[in-house]
Amino acid sequence: MVEALVLIQAKVGASSAVASAVIDVEGVTSADVVSGPYDVIARAEADSIDELGRLVISRIQTVGGVTRTLTCPVLTLD
């Protein structure tokens, strides 16, 4: 299992709607509206890094109001 934090920039005034839509995307486990350079931070999981990339590109980036994303894979240190 691969997890990542997806930092999302949204159109002005669209943060809440983006977070509400993103949380409904399969593979997204949380989505919170935040302040700062990003508007929403989502946590996502997938079976592989390739599947995670497809999740971000084909499902999260296509949500209405999303203007840019930055994907930060979570590293587990053993």
Mean pLDDT of 10-31: 98
pLDDT level of residue 77 (50, 70, 90 thresholds): confident
If 0-12 CB within 10 Å is exposed, 13-18 middle and 19+ buried, where does residue 6 land? Answer: buried
Residue 6 DSSP label: E
CATH class held by domain 2-73:
alpha beta
According to the model, what pLDDT value does residue 42 have? 98
Among 7, 31, 27, which Cα is nearest to 17's?
Answer: 31
Q: Where are the alpha helices (DSSP H) in the chain?
A: 15-22, 49-55
According to the model, what pLDDT value does residue 11 have? 98
